[in-house]
Amino acid sequence: MLVELIILTPGRRNEYIFCQKVKVRIRVLPIMDVKTHWNATLELLDGAYRLWEFTCEWLENPKYNEYRPLVTTQ
Q: Domain tally for the chain?
A: 1
DSSP string of 7-42? HSSHHHHHHHHHHHTTT-SS---PPPP-TTSTTHHH
Residue 44 has pLDDT above 70, yes or no: yes
Range of the domain at 48: 2-70
pLDDT above 70 covers a percentage of the chain that reads 95
Average pLDDT over residues 57-65: 86
pTM above 0.75, yes or no: no
